[in-house]
């Protein structure tokens, strides 16, 4: 097993390299980069982003006023809208954003820094990327971990119960509930929860924004725990709905597939109890498919699965940060979040394989080729 783990860790290196290289290459051809955003603000096309840059280290306001107001000499620039701006100002912008170096040099310098988790500074926020990620991490950890634990804690027992009672009234009614849950988008259900329980039109039982209350630090430890879960109640309910439905159906189908196999019939003919057959033989085989879906579900709960929920409930986490960084072309944040999520996915994939051997010791990864 040690050799297999070592091979998987070594395989992470070219995988991460390929992901970062492909993304970096795509970014080189993407229009509307940070330099163009500054130019657009000087031309009055994006005043919103100007306020972010002027306050976050994208250049001092006097330089902007001088470059935009002096009407410098015309320049045949590679940046759209740069005509009329001083070429020296454009060169300063390129140097500030690191675009004065060749793309290949920038890429390998980025990889060198990322090896020691040095992600640099945000283009448009006066903060280092690592500090920015640390600031948003509690929200994403809360949503991702609790979503995974709750959805699996509900869906696995329910899926087993549905498989055992396949075709019964219990199976029909729970299937109807699951179908409704699967069909309703999480963001739409989140809006419904706000209307019903967060002061929309009916009850005002739950808070509408934030992970904790403003006075959280002054509360006692029991009150802090209650306050924390009080804020998580609505967003977690909205997110668990679709995840719970998907995992339940996956678990049920996996168990049904195993229950109908010959070895289960043989175990029953030997006189084993139904509980022993189900949890001693079927469980470890049926759970393989469920476990294989765990890494993707866990990572998506950190980013794509929580983006809209973070927006609706004003939870400032990594999902919202990554989306805003892509829109604003804040490349240090974009690449840092991509690097972290990719690394997390690879590590969790390895842990998922190790879980296979824990559930079914017959699996031997040492004897197979990667």
- Which structural domains are found in the chain, ordered by start? 31-102 (no CATH), 130-367 (1.10.3720.10)
> Tokens standing for 223?
């009150």
CB 56 within 8 A of CB 125: yes
Share of the chain above pLDDT 70, in %: 79
Contacts 24+ apart (CB under 8 A), 225-233: 228/142, 230/206, 231/206, 231/207, 232/142, 232/143, 232/146, 233/206
CB 120 within 8 A of CB 335: no
Residue 136 has pLDDT above 60, yes or no: yes
Phi-psi label, residue 125: left if phi above 0, alpha if psi -120 to 50, beta otherwise: beta
Segment 362-366 mean pLDDT: 63
Indicate the range of 82-96, 100-114, 168-182 predicted with least confidence: 82-96
- Model confidence over 204-247: pLDDT tens digits? 888 888 888 888 888 888 899 999 999 888 888 888 877 778 78
Q: Is the dihedral of CA 358, 361, 366, 370 positive or negative?
A: negative
Residue 56 has pLDDT above 60, yes or no: no
Report the 3 state secondary structure along 24-61. Answer: HHHHHCCCCCHHHHHHHHHCCCCHHHHHHHHHHCCCCH
> Tokens standing for 169?
């009234």
Question: At a CB cut-off of 8 Å and minimum separation 6, what does 59 contact?
Answer: 38, 53, 92, 93, 96
Question: At a CB cut-off of 8 Å and minimum separation 6, what does 285 contact?
Answer: 258, 360
Whole-angstrom distance, CA of residue 351 vs CA of residue 331: 30
pLDDT the model gives residue 7: 85
Segment 93-106 mean pLDDT: 82
CB 49 within 8 A of CB 33: no
Task: Measure Cα distances from 348 to 8, 177, 343, 352 in Å.
Answer: 12, 31, 9, 6
Higher pLDDT, 172 or 247: 172
Cα-trace Rg, the chain: 26
CB 360 within 8 A of CB 292: no
Higher pLDDT, 188 or 352: 188
Question: Mapping DSSP to helix (H, G, I), strand (E, B) and coil, where does residue 155 land?
Answer: helix
Question: Would you place residue 305 in the very low, low, confident or very high pLDDT band (cuts 50, 70, 90)?
Answer: low
Place of tokens 């869906």: 155
Beta partners for 121? 128
Segment 267-292 mean pLDDT: 79
Query: What is the rounded average pLDDT for all residues in the chain?
Result: 78
């Amino acid at each position: 097993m040690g050799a297999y783990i070592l091979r998987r860790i070594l395989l992470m290196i070219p995988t991460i390299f390929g992901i970062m290289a492909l993304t970096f290459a795509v970014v080189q051809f993407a229009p509307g980069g940070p330099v163009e955003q500054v130019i657009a603000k000087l031309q009055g096309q994006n005043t919103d982003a100007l306020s972010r840059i002027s306050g976050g280290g994208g250049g001092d306001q006097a330089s902007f006023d001088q470059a935009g107001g002096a009407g410098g000499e015309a320049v045949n620039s590679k940046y759209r809208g740069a005509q009329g701006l001083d070429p020296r100002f454009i060169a300063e912008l390129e140097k500030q954003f690191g675009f004065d170096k060749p793309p290949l040099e920038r890429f390998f310098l980025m990889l060198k820094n990322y090896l020691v988790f040095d992600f640099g500074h945000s283009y448009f926020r006066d903060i280092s990327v690592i500090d920015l990620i640390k600031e948003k991490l509690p929200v994403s950890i809360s949503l991702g971990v609790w979503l995974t634990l709750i959805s699996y804690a509900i869906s696995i027992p329910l899926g087993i119960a549905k498989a055992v009672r396949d075709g019964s009234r219990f199976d029909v009614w729970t299937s109807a509930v699951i179908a409704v849950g699967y069909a309703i988008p999480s963001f739409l259900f989140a809006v419904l929860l706000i209307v019903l329980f967060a002061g929309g039109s009916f009850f005002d039982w739950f808070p509408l924004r934030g992970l904790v209350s403003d006075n959280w630090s002054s509360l006692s430890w029991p009150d802090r725990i209650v306050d924390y879960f009080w804020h998580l109640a609505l967003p977690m309910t909205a997110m668990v709905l679709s995840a719970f439905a998907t995992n339940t159906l996956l678990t049920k189908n996996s168990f049904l597939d195993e229950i109908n196999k010959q070895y289960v019939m043989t175990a029953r003919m030997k006189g084993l109890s139904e509980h022993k057959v189900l949890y001693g033989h079927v469980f470890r085989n049926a759970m393989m498919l469920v476990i294989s879906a765990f890494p993707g579900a866990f990572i998506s709960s950190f980013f794509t699965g929580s983006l809209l929920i973070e927006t609706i409930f004003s939870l400032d986490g990594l999902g919202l940060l990554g989306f805003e960084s892509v829109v604003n072309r804040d490349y240090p944040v974009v690449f840092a979040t991509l690097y972290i999520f990719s690394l997390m996915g690879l590590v969790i994939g390895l842990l998922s394989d190790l879980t296979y051997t824990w559930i079914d010791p017959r699996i031997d990864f040492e004897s197979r080729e990667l």
